[in-house]
Amino acid sequence: MGDMFSTNAPAVVEERNGEIEFRVVNNDCERESVIILSGLKCLFQKQLPEMPKTYIARLVYDRAHVSIAIVRRRLEVVGGITYRPFKDRGFAEIAFCAVLSDEQIKGYGTHLMSHLKDYIKASSNMMHLLTYADDLAIGYFKKQGFTKDITLDESVWKGCIKDYQGGALMQCSLLPRIRYLELGRMLLKQKACVQAKIQALSKSDVVHQPPKQWENGVIPIDPLSIDAIRASGWSPEVDELMR
């Protein structure tokens, strides 16, 4: 997980250097919004070939939907998410999520989802995300904190979101005290704290003398006859469990 949210991931570095930006857009008839939405429509139609093209276009341009796009200079769209907010019900439905296939090793998908989570938390009271994921997308959504265990009451979302045949309904509940774009730094700090605590207690640098039983050659011995092993708390039962 640390690598996924790394502060040195290409997507993070490119945003920091101004090579890409994340734009929140909807169909407000502004020129740049229409250009970006058109780029998103073409991207989704290319990356999601199982979806009807007219259906993708209808939702992307629908004013009830909001999109977050990864945009390069000259408004070139390389990734994005389109979702529908249900603010009065406290959740948002992700309709489409895709990144250009030749850009998928840069961490764009993870960074995009972090932007979405932080934006939704900052701009509304919605604390849950729902989406239908096909077999190819389930792995990605699991890495972003989604689960098939739906805890949101069915009465909240039933009849509001479209039921996709062959897709698995997944949910992500947002954590109020987490800023997802800072998750990489937070994980690095936690890792450093854990390693410091381990180092303070560790005796891995201590080198013990060979057992006396081996003075005349290596022979089988009972591990628990060695004081240091016995003091470590090791036992055959624990060893079996660890295997």
Say whether 93 is catalytic. Answer: yes
CATH superfamily of 10-187: Gcn5-related N-acetyltransferase (GNAT) (3.40.630.30)
Q: Which residue, among 65, 41, 61, has the nearest Cα to 116 in the 3D structure?
A: 65
Band (pLDDT 50/70/90 cuts) for residue 22 is very high
Cβ count near 5 (within 10 Å): 21
DSSP-derived secondary structure for 27-70: -S--HHHHHHHHHHHHHHHHH-TTS-HHHHHHHHH-TT-EEEEE
Q: Pairing relation of β-strands 168-173 and 128-133?
A: antiparallel
Mean pLDDT, residues 13-35:
96
DSSP-derived secondary structure for 87-143: GGGTEEEEEEEEE-GGGTTSSHHHHHHHHHHHHHHHHSS--EEEEEE-HHHHHHHHH
Least confident of 14-18, 28-32, 119-123, 202-206: 202-206
Mean pLDDT, residues 80-88:
97
List, for residues 103-122, the tens digit of each pLDDT value. Answer: 888 899 999 999 999 999 99
Q: Is 20 helix (H, G, I), strand (E, B) or coil?
A: coil
Q: Which residue, among 59, 61, 68, 140, has the nearest Cα to 104 in the 3D structure?
A: 140
Residue 4: what pLDDT? 56
Q: Which of these is catalytic: 93, 103, 182, 240?
A: 93
Residue 180: what pLDDT? 93
Distances (CA, A) of 212 to 10, 110, 232: 55, 55, 19
Average pLDDT over the chain, rounded to whole? 91
Residue 65: what pLDDT? 98
Q: Which residue has the higher pLDDT, 165 or 140?
A: 140
